[in-house]
Chains A and B, each alone.
Chain A
């Protein structure tokens, strides 16, 4: 039997654009560079004019390079980056490892939901930083109290997104497995979990950024290490290049965390990639 009709298939052919001055100027990567360089230039001129009490980008970068070798409170720059990152990783890991399963359970089982939801809703709107005093009261001023804030901060978005991820699943997807005779366990493993995966990653992303807010708040309050502490240090010594450097490093490290999460998401949710990226 010949399959000629069935073998017909849509081909995706990407059209090549000729290289012109407009295609270069309109290229998004080119525009990224334009945007970034303009930002540095504006910053430079404001700082060089002595406005707003800023340090120039050069001074800031130099200061950060200096800190790579010179120790501040017993740690060089990488030591401080690690101090903050470690708190985040531990706190986030605990928050996600409890929050994601709890959210999934709440969405999949109405008894769990009925028991947990009222209490959760009560605590949900409370900013995690409101826990700082209690946390210090319970855990002292050491590492555990900082990690605790981060656990609280990353727990909430994980619960919310895991819950929503299950609840927004198109009911027709369950019909597909039901008519095939799938049982409840198969429904959960073949449909609920994979369908909710992108939402879990959305929760993880939000948790990460909340975790950064929390770690900075904790370090500003009481700490001898970490990027938040570098900023406080710069403030106390009136060294704007230290403050700005601390901020820039936070931005970079937080971006790396977020990019790493996106990378893992792309690996685990390949269907979310467009044709372009395949």
Chain B
């Protein structure tokens, strides 16, 4: 399953298989992601979306197959990745500000650039007012915003998001979806966005991968070539949304 031929390939997933003991989760999956592409992955619960992202980031080893980023074996130490986890994860001993700065500190951003970017990102995701609070003093949706901000802040060239907006209210979700697209357009990052929400997938992605039930393969891919900003009530938008919903019904 290839990306459009005129773009450089960023990520190559080759015959990726993952087993947990006898449980076959990812079954010989192959696909490419182009440089700067925005991909959405939708699939049933427990099909291995999180597992896929974890193998991509080397948090867990693949059983077979390989994942290459820019032609090299994927590795967070050599590639500039950022990951927004499904479960909001903040470091409880750091304030909101220091949590957002965390990725930049680990990656060794120079001090002045770090400060400047920190203020910008805090304002962008609306965390300036609670920058000095600790994670146990803010709501769950704010914690998730911190995780998103931390990922944005490191200017990743590959941004992985695992149902990042599931916990947020609709208003904030729309706002952050637009922010994400804006960020993607300015940073030219490659984004892999896992979601349960079909409307969200169609709204943000250039291409949607629909996964099957376990053992998981890619069931279909849907190109979304709508102009941006997209409208949720555009007939073409609705048509694509229906198409993906149809595919998902067949699970």
Contacts and interface: CB of A to CB of B under 8 A. Distances in A.
B93 A6 contact: no
B87 interface: yes
A15 interface: no
B245 interface: no
Interface in B76-134: 76-83, 85, 87, 89, 91-95, 102-103, 105-107, 123-126, 128-130, 134
Contacts of B25: none
A183 B77 contact: yes
Given A181-B76, A183-B77, A8 B126 contact: yes
Contacts of B197: none
A181 B77 contact: yes
Interface of A is mostly: helix
B139 A5 contact: no
A3 to B, nearest CB: 6
B172 A9 contact: no
A195 B123 contact: no
B130 A178 contact: no
Nearest to A269: B93
A194 interface: yes
Contacts of A6: 123-126, 172, 175
A178 B58 contact: yes
Nearest to B80: A181
Interface in A74-104: none
Contacts of B102: 176-177, 180, 190
A61 interface: no
Contacts of B232: none
A5 B177 CA distance: 13
Contact of B83 (A12, A179, A270): A179
B86 to A, nearest CB: 10
A180 B129 contact: no
A56 to B, nearest CB: 47
A7 B77 contact: no
B89 A7 contact: no
A191 to B, nearest CB: 7
B93 A271 contact: yes
Contact of A178 (B76, B78, B92, B139): B76
A201 to B, nearest CB: 13
A197 B210 CA distance: 45
Contacts of B57: 178-179
Interface of B: 57-59, 76-83, 85, 87, 89, 91-95, 102-103, 105-107, 123-126, 128-130, 134-139, 142, 154, 160, 171-172, 175
Interface of A: 3, 5-10, 12, 172-173, 175-183, 186, 190-191, 194-195, 197, 269-271, 275, 278
Given A178-B59, A180-B102, A275-B137, 4 more contacts: A7-B129, A9-B126, A178-B57, A194-B91
* Cβ-closest 3 pairs across A and B: A6-B126, A179-B83, A271-B134
